[in-house]
Amino acid sequence: MDALYLTQAEQRLFQALPAALSAGGEVKDETQQYEETSRKRSIRFQIARLHDPALLRFREKALDTKSEDEFRALVQSVDLGKISERDMGQLLFALGPNGLSVIISGILKNAVKAEDIAMAASFSELRHELLASLNTVSA
Amino acid sequence: MVRTLETKGNGKSQLTLRDLREALYNGEADRREDLDVLREMASDKDGLLKKIEANDALTHRLGGKDNLKTQFEQLHMRYGEVIRNVAALKTFQEKVEKKGILRRMLSGLGSYAKRHPFVTALLLASAASAGVAAGFYFTGNWELLMSGVGALRKQIAAGVGRSLPLLDPKTPPLPGSGVEGVPGGGPINL
C-alpha cells in the first residue's frame, strides 16, 4: 500500500481504525502548511478549466436542477472514475489543500475496507503534492 | 474594430491582457482567453516579452520598447498572484500525472464514490464552480459542506449559481479590481 501523508489529527483517525484496516499502512507526517484565504480559493477556481464532456454536461445540467431528487440523479449519473486525469487534476487544484483534507478525513472516518485506506492514501499523496506546488510559488 | 489599448485621461496608453492576447494570437485572439496569456507569462515571461516587442504596431502605440517593457512588467506584477497560481497548477498537474497518482486514484474512485457519495458530491460541486469567472466561489466552509450528504445535496439542489450557500456571490471579482492590495483595473476575463 502507498504511504499515507497525514496530519496529526488525521493520524488519530487512522489509529482509531480496526487493526485489520490500519495494519500495513505506512504513515508519514504531513507537516506542510498552507494558509487558505477566500482570495486564493477564488483564483484557483477561476483558473481551473474543464474539458471532460461528462463534467461539462454535469455543470450545464446542474444549473437547471429543480429538485433534490433531480440533482441526486444527476450526481449519480457521473462516473468519476472515468473523468480524465487532466480534469481531475484541475478539480483537485481548485478544491485546494483544505478541500482535500475534508475528503481525507471523511474517508478515514468511514473506512471499512482496505480499498478505502488506499483511497485515503491517494488523496493524501495528491494533497502532499498540491501543498508542495502551492508553497513553492508562494515562497 | 476591437480596441486594443485603453487610453487614460493623461493621454498615455496602458497595456492590457487583451493587447497581449491580440498581439500573440492575432486573428485567433477572440478564440483565446486572457488565461492563455497568463499561462505564457507563467512559463516563459522573457520569451513572451520578446514576442510582444516584435509587434511594431503595439510597440509604436505604447510609445516605444522601453515604455512597452515597463508596462509589461507592471502588468506582470498586477497579475502576479494569478500567475503564481497558474504556475502552481501546471507543476501540480505535471507531477501527479508523471507519478501516476491521479491514474491510481481514478482507478479506484468509481466504485468508491458509489459507496461514498459525499466525495462525488464535493468533486462535482467543484466542477460546477470551476472556471467560472465571477460570482461563484466556495466559502471554504468545508465543515458545513460535510455536515451530511443529504444537506449537501439539498444545498446544491437549491440552485448552483443562484442561491447556493456553499458559494459566496459576495466574493469580489479577481484580480485587478482593487481588492486586497491589487491595483485597480477592469475585472479579468479568465
Element (H, E) at A123: helix A114-138
- SS3 sequence, B73-129? HHHHHHCHHHHHHHHHHHHHHHHHHHCCHHHHHHHHHHHHHHHCHHHHHHHHHHHHH
- For B:135-154, CB contacts with A below 8 A are 136-140, 142-143, 145-146, 153-154
Q: Measure CA B122 to chain center.
A: 21
| Per-domain residue ranges of chain B | 6-82, 100-190
Element (H, E) at A27: strand A27-29
Residue B34 and residue B188 in contact, taking contact as beta carbons nearer than 8 Å? yes
Query: Could you report the predicted ipTM of this complex, rounded to two decimals?
Result: 0.93
CA gap A108, B112 in Å, rounded: 13
Q: Out of B87, B113, B156, name the one closest to residue A137 (CB).
A: B87
> Which residues in chain B are contacts of A129 at CB distance < 8 A?
92, 95-96, 99, 101
What does each of the 139 residues of chain A score in pLDDT, given as a tens digit?
689 999 999 999 999 999 999 987 899 999 999 988 877 887 888 888 989 999 888 877 776 666 667 777 787 888 888 999 999 999 999 888 988 888 898 899 889 999 999 999 999 999 999 999 999 887 5
Most B CBs within 10 Å: which of A34, A80, A126, as the mutation test of the B interface? Answer: A80
The parts of chain B modelled with pLDDT lower than 50 are 1-11, 133-189
| Per-domain residue ranges of chain A | 4-138
Contact B91 A133 (CB under 8 A): yes
Residue A87 and residue B97 in contact, taking contact as beta carbons nearer than 8 Å? no
Q: Out of B85, B105, B159, name the one closest to residue A123 (CB).
A: B105
Chain B nearest-CA residue for A111: B116
